[in-house]
Amino acid sequence: MTTFHAKLLIIDDVPENIGVLFNLLSQQHYEILIAEDGNSGLETAHNEQPDLILLDVMMPNIDGFEVCHRLKQSPVTRDIPVIFLTALSDTDSKVSGFELGAVDFITKPIQGEEVLARVKTHLTVRRLQHQQRDTIAQLEERNAELDAFAHTVAHDLKNPLGIISGMTDILTQQHGQDARLLNQLRDIHRSSSKMREIIDALLLLARVSRQGIETEVLDMNAILQQVVLRIQPDLHRREGLLHWPKTWPVVTGQPQWIEEVWANYLSNGLKYGGHPPRLEVGADTEGGQARFWVQDNGPGLDPEAQAKVFVPFSRLHQHSDEEGHGLGLSIVERIMNKLDGTVGVESVQGQGARFFFTLPLVAQASPEQVQFDAQAPALSGSESTQDKPAVALPDIADLQALLEASRMGDVLLVQAQIQALSKQARIKIFCEEINGLVDDMRVKQLRLTLEHYLTQAQA
C-alpha cells in the first residue's frame, strides 16, 4: 500500500495571507509549499505533485480561475483537489469555481478552524482515493495471475480428461459384450464429461466478467445450427423434438456468448422438459428490443424456484435425477448483463416453462438481414443436423486419422496433423475450422464435426 504523505501548496500573492496559512497548517505537521503568483504555482504543482492546493482567486497577471483551469487541463495535475481562497461571496463566482473543478471555497478573512476542517476533509478524500487506486491495482494484478493460472489448469486438465473420454470409447467398442465393465466405462465417461463441463462453465463465467464487448449483427439461425450440432447427441438420446422459425428479428450481440445462452436454455429444456421433450423456440419484438425464448413441455416451476433459478449453484429441479452444477443459468444472466439485455422465466406449474432473453433490435434492418438461410422448422432427435456448407475436405484416410485422435482426446496430435494438412491450400477453410475447435478445447464438438465430414466424404 502506498504511504500517504500530506503535501500542501499555497498559491497567493499576499505575504500576510501566506504567513497566516503557513503557521496554521505547519502546526498540523503538513509539508507546506509556497508560490506567490499563478505561473510559479503551476510550475510547482507540476514538479511537486501536492495532495491539495489552496489557491487565491484575486491575483495579478493570471487569476486563480485561470490557474485552476490550467491545472485541470493537465493530466499531471487535474486530479489534485483545489480549494479557492477568496473574498468573493457571490454565488456566481462560486459556481464558476466549481465548474472549473474546485472542490471547495474558503472565504476571507480566514478563520483557522474552518481552514483546518476543510483541509482535513479533502485530504481524507484524497487519501481514500490513493487507497482505492492501490486496491484496484492489486486486484487487477491478482486477476491477471488467476486468469493465467485458470487457462493453464484448463489445458492441463482438459487434455487428460479428453484422453480418458477417448480411451473409454475405445474400451467400450472392444468390450461391449461385458455388461458389468460396460456400465463402469459409461460411469467413467459420464464423470469425465461432467468435469469438463464444470471446467468450461467456470472459465466462461470468469471470461464473461472480464472480457470487453464487441457486438455485431447476429445471424441467429447460424448460431442455432451450431448449438444443435452441440446438443444433437442429447437430442437423439432423449428422442426430443425442436421447432424454430425461419425468420428472426435482427439484433446485435456477441455471437459466441449468444451461442452459450441458447446452449444452456436448450440443454435445460431437454433435461427438464417432458418425456420425450418437445421444445419450441421463438422470438417477438417490443419497444426496440427482441425477446428470444425457449418453451418446454416439462412440469413447470413454482414461484420460489423461478425467483432463484438464475442464482449461481442453484439447481433447477432439486428432486430431479438429472445432474447439474448450477452454473449454466447464472452464466446466461451475466452474459446478458454485459450485453445490456435481460433474462427471465415465465412458468405455470403443469404447463412447462418459457426461458427468455432480450437483445436490442437493429434499426431499419434490410430484408437481406431479416431472413437468413433457414433451418427446417422442426428437428427431431432421429434426424441429423442440417448439412454444413460444402468445403474442400482432406482424403478419407486423413479424416479417419483426425477422428481417431479426437476420439482419444489427443488434441496435440490433432494439431500436428492439421499443421501438416494445412500445406494443402485447397482445404484451408477446413483446417481453420478444426484449428478453431482445438484452440477452444471443444473436443466433443471437434469429434462430431469430424464424424460429419467423414460421413460426407464417404457418401
Peptide bond into 276 cis (omega under 30): yes
pLDDT digits (tens, 9 = 90+) for 183-204: 888 778 777 776 776 676 666 6
C-beta separation of 251 from 290 below 8 A: yes
d(CA 40, CA 57): 15
Please name the residues in contact with 330: beta carbons below 8 A apart, sequence gap of 6 or more: 205, 310, 311, 312, 313, 314
pLDDT at 220 over 80: yes
Do residues 374 and 395 share a domain?
no
Kindly indicate the confidence band of residue 314, based on its pLDDT and cuts at 50, 70 and 90: low
For 5-9, what is the mean pLDDT?
88
* Residue 191 falls inside a structural domain: no
C-beta separation of 205 from 146 below 8 A: no
Phi, psi for residue 313 in degrees, rounded to 5? 70, 15
pLDDT at 15 over 80: yes
Do residues 355 and 225 share a domain?
yes
Residue carrying the nine cell digits 491477471: 144
Over pLDDT 70: what percentage of the chain? 81
Peptide bond into 109 cis (omega under 30): yes
Do residues 273 and 374 share a domain?
yes
d(CA 116, CA 52): 12
* Residue 182 falls inside a structural domain: no
Do residues 309 and 357 share a domain?
yes
Closest CA to 213 of 331, 342, 338: 338
Query: Is this structure's pTM higher than 0.75?
Result: no
CATH number (domain holding residue 298): 3.30.565.10
pLDDT at 384 over 60: no
Do residues 90 and 238 share a domain?
no
d(CA 137, CA 143): 10
* Residue 134 falls inside a structural domain: no
**Domain range for 444:** 388-459
* Residue 167 falls inside a structural domain: no
Kindly indicate the confidence band of residue 409, based on its pLDDT and cuts at 50, 70 and 90: low
* Residue 118 falls inside a structural domain: no
Residue 205 confidence (pLDDT): 61
For 78-83, what is the mean pLDDT?
93
Do residues 246 and 342 share a domain?
yes
d(CA 236, CA 384): 9
Residue 51 confidence (pLDDT): 92
Please name the residues in contact with 358: beta carbons below 8 A apart, sequence gap of 6 or more: 289, 290, 291, 292, 336, 341, 342, 343
> What are the CA-CA distances from residue 289 to residues 250, 334, 366, 370 (Å)?
10, 18, 17, 15
Do residues 320 and 399 share a domain?
no
Do residues 423 and 354 share a domain?
no
Closest CA to 170 of 397, 407, 406: 407
pLDDT digits (tens, 9 = 90+) for 129-171: 888 988 888 887 887 777 677 667 766 776 777 778 778 778 8
Largest CA distance in the chain: 102
Do residues 227 and 317 share a domain?
yes
Q: Which of 203-217, 288-302, 402-416 has the lowest mean pLDDT?
A: 203-217
Which residue would you say has higher pLDDT here, 370 or 259?
Answer: 259
Do residues 437 and 350 share a domain?
no
Q: In the listed set 56, 87, 110, which residue is the last one of a domain according to the structure?
A: 110
Kindly indicate the confidence band of residue 424, based on its pLDDT and cuts at 50, 70 and 90: confident
Do residues 365 and 417 share a domain?
no
* Residue 419 falls inside a structural domain: yes
Q: In the listed set 386, 420, 445, which residue is the last one of a domain according to the structure?
A: 386
d(CA 25, CA 106): 14
Q: How many domains does the chain have?
A: 3
d(CA 48, CA 37): 16
* Residue 136 falls inside a structural domain: no
Residue 357 confidence (pLDDT): 95
For 74-95, what is the mean pLDDT?
85
C-beta separation of 347 from 354 below 8 A: yes
Do residues 278 and 421 share a domain?
no
**Which range, 44-58, 239-253, 444-458, is most confident?**
44-58
Q: In the listed set 76, 110, 144, which residue is the last one of a domain according to the structure?
A: 110
CATH number (domain holding residue 65): 3.40.50.2300
* Residue 180 falls inside a structural domain: no
